[in-house]
Amino acid sequence: DSGVTQTPKHLITATGQRVTLRCSPRSGDLSVYWYQQSLDQGLQFLIQYYNGEERAKGNILERFSAQQFPDLHSELNLSSLELGDSALYFCASSVVAGGTDTQYFGPGTRLTVL
């Protein structure tokens, strides 16, 4: 158990809908990262927040947005969902935001868009 929690574990929804994925980082970690794992792709970095501020952006679609709240939990919002958004979404956290910081991964949320 990494100490990172994600809810829900599974989510099934329809195309065009909007969902919110939630992540609570390890106690004391200030940085939160979101990654997407699709069927035929590796782990793709989406976005990073550090202490409430956006720090880095990856291949995140405009239909997706995220935020980190004052209590440091983070939410990833996915809207106008398409079939291709079906994937495993991981949240990770680290103490600060340095390149040598170990990122601890949560259990993931499996999103299925029908």
Using CB under 8 A, list all residues that contact another protein: 2, 31, 33, 35, 41-45, 48, 55-56, 58, 90, 94, 97-108
- By C-beta, is 2 or 17 nearer to another protein? 2
DSSP string, 23-81: EEPPTT--EEEEEEE-TTS-EEEEEEEETTEEEEE-S--TTEEEEE-TTS-EEEEE-S-
- By C-beta, is 12 or 43 nearer to another protein? 43
Minimum Å gap between C-beta 32 and another protein is 11
- By C-beta, is 85 or 89 nearer to another protein? 89
Minimum Å gap between C-beta 91 and another protein is 9
Of the chain, the end-to-end C-alpha distance in Å amounts to 31
